[in-house]
Amino acid sequence: MAINDDDYYIKKTLEGDSNSFSVLVERYQNMVFALALKMLKHREESEEVSQDTFIKVYKSLSKFNGESKFSTWIYRIAYNTCLDRIKKNSKYNNNVEINEITSNEISHTESIFDSLENKERSIIVKQCMDKLPEDERIIIHLFYFEELNLKEIVEIVSMTEGNVKVKLFRARKKLFSIFKESVEPEIYSSYER
Partner 1 sequence: MNDKEKDLLDNFTKRMVKETPVEKPSIDFSRNVMDTINALEVEKEKRVFEPLISNKVWLLISAGIIALTVFILKTGVNMNEGYLSQIDFSGYTNAISFETSYNLNISNTALYGFIFLAIMIPIQIGYLKSYHNKKFE
Q: What's the CA gap between 20 and 13, in Å, rounded? A: 6
Per-residue interface string for the shown chain with partner 1, residues 60-99, x marking contact by CB under 8 A: ----------------------------------------
Binding to partner 1 by residue 100, rule CB under 8 A? yes
Binding partner 1 (rule: CB under 8 A), the pick from 41, 42, 45, 51 is: 51
Rounded (5°) CA angle 21-56-62: 65
Count of residues binding partner 1 (CB under 8 A)?
A: 43
Binding to partner 1 by residue 25, rule CB under 8 A? yes
Choose between 59 and 90: whose C-beta lies nearer to partner 1.
59
* CB neighbour burial string for 52-85, b if at least 16 within 10 angstroms, e if fewer: bbbeebeeebeebeeeeebbbbbbbbbbebbbeb
Binding to partner 1 by residue 179, rule CB under 8 A? yes
- 124: left (phi > 0), else alpha (psi -120 to 50), else beta? alpha
DSSP state of 92: -
Alpha helices in the chain (DSSP H): 6-14, 20-40, 43-59, 70-89, 103-115, 118-130, 134-140, 150-157, 161-182, 184-192
Binding to partner 1 by residue 47, rule CB under 8 A? yes
Which residues between 1 and 20 bind partner 1 (CB under 8 A)? 18-19
Question: Looking at this protein, which amino acid is placed at residue 67?
Answer: E
Choose between 8 and 58: whose C-beta lies nearer to partner 1.
58
The answer to whether the beta carbons of residues 9 and 25 sit under 8 Å apart is no
Which residues between 101 and 140 bind partner 1 (CB under 8 A)? 101-103, 106-107, 109-110, 113, 121-122, 125-126, 128-129, 140
Where do contacts with partner 1 occur on this chain (CB under 8 A)? 18-19, 21-22, 25-26, 29-30, 33-34, 37, 46-47, 50-51, 54-55, 58-59, 100-103, 106-107, 109-110, 113, 121-122, 125-126, 128-129, 140-141, 144-145, 172-173, 175-176, 179
